Chains A and B, each alone.
Chain A
Amino acid sequence: GENVEQHPSTLSVQEGDSAVIKCTYSDSASNYFPWYKQELGKRPQLIIDIRSNVGEKKDQRIAVTLNKTAKHFSLHITETQPEDSAVYFCAATDSWGKFQFGAGTQVVVTP
């Protein structure tokens, strides 16, 4: 089955700096890679996703890149703000369409 590894587990950045979270996956047939943001005490919510036929996708201050050859994908947050503080999860769907989540990254943005 699919195995997704996510790094780092915690990330502290100064407000205004960029944050990058990286994930690797094992199933070369995986074709969908969403990213979720979970604020304290709340449910994870989709913030951006990318499909295997695209190498990069951007939505305002967040972007995701995908390298299918290397089987890794990354989330980039630019000009970080305190409200970006949360836990971020990457995920990949295996060849059966089942989601496999990474372990999560706690992002702390300090003013």
Chain B
Amino acid sequence: SQTIHQWPATLVQPVGSPLSLECTVEGTSNPNLYWYRQAAGRGLQLLFYSVGIGQISSEVPQNLSASRPQDRQFILSSKKLLLSDSGFYLCAWDPDDVSGNTIYFGEGSWLTVV
């Protein structure tokens, strides 16, 4: 069966420090991968999505970046965090078969920038 893992689960980072969140999917190949952010009490904002290795699409301008070095690995990064980067970050995947597949979310990473 397919599983998705995301880490770290929580982190507190000072303003201006770098960030790296990692996500891996097991039990499938060539998945579509996503990074979402959720501010406290708010909706799901799509940050990045990827349909394959090295293929990243950005949905919103920001100081975050994403990379997909391997088929089932998706990394969210920042060189210098801002206070506004605080939130709940969710990695997600769906099988790249046909349109209309369910998205499955990772456990999420709570980021607090202080």
Contacts and interface: CB of A to CB of B under 8 A. Distances in A.
Contacts, number: 46
A87 to B, nearest CB: 9
Most buried by B among A51, A91, A97, A101: A97
Main secondary structure of the interface of B (DSSP, over half): loop
A43 B49 contact: no
Interface in A78-101: 89, 91, 93, 95-99, 101
B108 A32 contact: no
Contacts of A102: 43
Contacts of A45: 105
B64 interface: no
A103 B100 contact: no
Given A31-B99, A34-B102, A93-B99, A42 B43 contact: no
Interface residues of B, number: 20
Contacts of A97: 32, 98-101
B100 A98 contact: no
Contacts of A42: 107-108
Nearest to A97: B99
Given A102-B43, A103-B43, A104-B43, A43 B100 contact: no
Interface in B89-114: 90, 94, 98-108
B44 A46 contact: no
Interface string A23-50: 0000000011010000000111110010
Contacts of A95: 99
Given A43-B90, A44-B44, A96 B99 contact: yes
Interface of A: 31-32, 34, 42-46, 49, 51, 89, 91, 93, 95-99, 101-104
